[in-house]
Structure 1
Amino acid sequence: MNWVEILGYVASFLVAISLMMSSIVRLRWLNLAGGITFSVYGFIIGAYPVAAVNAFIACINVYFLIKIYRSQVIFNVIKSGSESGQSGYIAYFLDFFAEDIKQFYPDFSRRLTRENREYFLLTEQEKVVGIVSGIRHSDEHFEIDLDIVTPAYRDYKLGHYLFGANNIFANKFGFRKITANVQTKEYQAYLEKVGFTQQATHIWEYQTPSNF
């Protein structure tokens, strides 16, 4: 196998992997890389129709990536209620994503009936795309044990919106201390990305600024 054949396999791999992405942005980037690699491969082996089609596909991906990054994304977080007042929509959402919740938050079902549970809807413009839920331990301390969003929004943007530089979640609802109950490596990796640090086994914390 020479380097040209390897290039063709790499191109095929990139295109195939891109189609497995739930995030549209990741899909576009990987598909762009695959299209460019396939186009180069096509020119090298003299398969000009293959090169031309994949160059066109790469251009389409560039167009949509520019459109995505230039578009104004309007996120919001809305308090929905307590466990006793769980809305029909929340119950539907939890049931619809029951398998994902079991995979990423295996302790949630056991903690579901804890007192002082609250739910927050995550929205993108008028569309509900996720739910944050947890236990309010005091007026200033909230412990998250569920942060589930639809597959297309699992790219940290919502996490950075909630817990990033402006710390919308804490500021909007008056929390000085936010902790998270962590049961899986996937959730741990997410928390690290959005600014949490580990404090104890299964407990991660995002401390809001002292001048809050």
Structure 2
Amino acid sequence: MEFDWIEWYGYLASLVVFISLTMSSIIKLRIFNFVGCIIFAHYGLLTGLWPVAVANLSIALINVYYLYQIYSSKEQFKLVEAEVDSAYYLHFLSSNEAEITKQADHKSLGEANCSFYMLRDNNIAGILSGLKEDNGTFTLLIDYVTPKYRDYKLGAYYYNNSPEFLKDKGIKVLKTKATDKDHCFYLEKMGFIRTDTDSGKVYKKIL
């Protein structure tokens, strides 16, 4: 049987679109969906299926529009101190427990003495929680952002563009351990420097 590469090209487009819908990050979803739609549009042109080509090219342009909106929009960011024993803080941890406990277990979370809500346009987008020492070192146990806001803007803003938000809270040095490869990539992208120790990979950033 002769290999029909055009048919498999269509399957590839379907696979990329399917993968895009599994992404929790809006940025990744838009990018993968854009790529899938471009492949589908090309497939439509190759096979003479003009409705397929036009529809997917239109969706690709919509993805470009929303990606532009995400990267060009001027947003407001703010850190608000969170009481570690407050009802809402405990509710936030409980609601996002499955992902948060990948960074720190319940025992470690109970030892946290300093926490902040990360606000984006006055919406709680995530939390920073950990151990703050008198010398200004803040050991991060949790750096968690909800899926809706998981596009690196929060980390880039607080860690790189406007570190004074953290400095105003008496924090001079950030320290944390990486939990997986994605976490390592994120920390390095945010400017943390890695040090390998007996207990694992420790990342540090001086503000």
TM-score by length of 1: 0.86
Give the 3 Å change call, closer, same or farther, for CA 56–113 of structure 1 in structure 2: closer
**Unaligned regions of 5+ residues in structure 2, if any?**
none
Name the residue aligned to 1:123: 119
Distance across 1 between alignment mates of 2:154 and 2:62? 26
Residue 191 in 1 paired to residue 190 in 2?
no
Q: How many residues align?
A: 202
Secondary structure of 1:203's counterpart equals strand
Deviation, structure 1 residue 42: 0.7
Name the residue aligned to 2:109: 112
Give the 3 Å change call, closer, same or farther, for CA 63–185 of structure 1 in structure 2: closer
Distance across 2 between alignment mates of 1:50 and 1:136? 56
Name the residue aligned to 2:94: 95
Secondary structure of 2:82's counterpart equals strand
Name the residue aligned to 1:150: 146
Residue 51 in 1 paired to residue 48 in 2?
no
**Unaligned regions of 5+ residues in structure 1, if any?**
none
Deviation, structure 1 residue 151: 1.0
Q: Deviations over 1:34-92 (max 9, x none)?
A: 111111111111111111211221222222222223322222212223x4xx2211100
Contact 1:145 1:180 in 2 (8 A): yes
Deviation, structure 1 residue 139: 4.0
Identity %: 35
Distance across 1 between alignment mates of 2:138 and 2:88? 23
Secondary structure of 1:173's counterpart equals coil
TM-score by length of 2: 0.88
Runs of 4+ in structure 1 over 6 Å off: none
Contact 1:156 1:193 in 2 (8 A): no
